[in-house]
Amino acid sequence: MESNSKIEKQEINEIQSLNAETVTENQDKEIQEIADDLYEHFNFVVDKGQSLLRIDKFLFSHIQNVSRNKIQQAAKAGNILVNGASEKQNYRVKPQDLISVLMSHPIRDIDIVPENIPLDIVYEDNDILVINKKAGMVIHPAYGNYTGTLVNALSYYLGEKYNEDGSVQNPLLVHRIDKDTSGIIIVAKNEFAQAKLAYQFYYHTINRKYHALVWGDFKEDEGTIDSYINRSNADRRVMDCFSDPEKGKHAITHWKVLERFGYVTLVECRLETGRTHQIRVQMKSIGHPLFSDYTYGGRQILKGTVFTKYKQFVNNAFKLLPRQALHAKSLGFIHPVTEEKMFFDSELPKDMQDVIEKWRNYAIHKNYEEESVTIMDI
């Protein structure tokens, strides 16, 4: 037992020495959503008697040990919110405005509070957990979501479980999926497993497939989106695609049509990289926002007819699926310890199944050739 422990420690050291930069860079890239989260450092409610005043001057007078230039830079980066929306430095504060100053690093270490939250555990062994995450659950505590996250739930679930070397099992993230995206996610239980899995994510040997319902029809049956993703210049809270390598991180998504419904299409997306909002922003960039994706323009009628019944049909579909139509369908990888090939698949959640079935029935009973009036071509 002791010799096995020494071998394992030696393997950990070898991985960390050979791939220290790789793993660190991978955690910056593949687990980047943690770093991309914004943390609230200050918040103010403007007094009722406050006169109109530029927000940079207001914050300069209310925050100690900070220059006005720093405040202006934060505003330019979109990190100053007023009533939930980012504002520039020349915004004039009004009585009762709620002002938040956000930064990319936490003001303090976040205490992980174990919470008894039900989990759909697909697979578990001494080194990894595979979970089918429900939509609406945030992965890791961050600004605006300090409780109720997957990590809170896993901390409770693992409790006082120990690894073979006597160390406490902790949920160690290797990748993430968005709050309102459902589906398969893998979590490591120890540093060795995390390092080995991170290595696979970095070299794109992980097989990740998503199912998405998107607006519009495609001329081709499959294709590849190759672009660079970074925060939008217009709104720093969302992402955007760029053609210039200097402006973002490289992102590649391979898509394939699974089923056509006329005004919307069910597609499979295979990721080579794992950038923040990758599928959502890249699909929007080619004119096919995800159905019901409010952030990227999909929660409005982008294709179809002007008939009232059609509008009612789509609005009812939005109510059935009050989130982006995206599910992390499957995940394939090499087990970090046994080196066994592993593959996990999941069913689409009920909300997506119901909406897809609605569109399927609509497509069957409607003659698109007769409906010549189109609201918008995207």
Show which residues are catalytic. Answer: 178
What is the Cα 374 distance to its own chain's centre?
Answer: 32
Spatial strand order of the sheet with 85-86 comes to 39-45, 98-103, 80-82, 85-86
What is the Cα 59 distance to its own chain's centre?
Answer: 31
Pairing of strands 249-260, 341-345: unpaired
Pairing of strands 182-188, 326-334: parallel
Instruction: Report the DSSP beta bridge partners of residue 133.
Output: 183
Residues in the chain: 378
Q: Give the separation between CA 238 and CA 123, rounded to whole angstroms.
A: 33
Residue 71 zone, left/alpha/beta (φ > 0; ψ -120 to 50; rest): alpha
Report DSSP state, residue 290: B
Instruction: Report the DSSP beta bridge partners of residue 123.
Output: 130
Evaluate whether 326 touches 346 at the Cβ level (below 8 Å).
no
Cα three-residue angle 91-96-101, rounded to 5 degrees: 55
The string of DSSP letters for 13-24 reads HHHHHHSHHHHH
SS3 172: strand
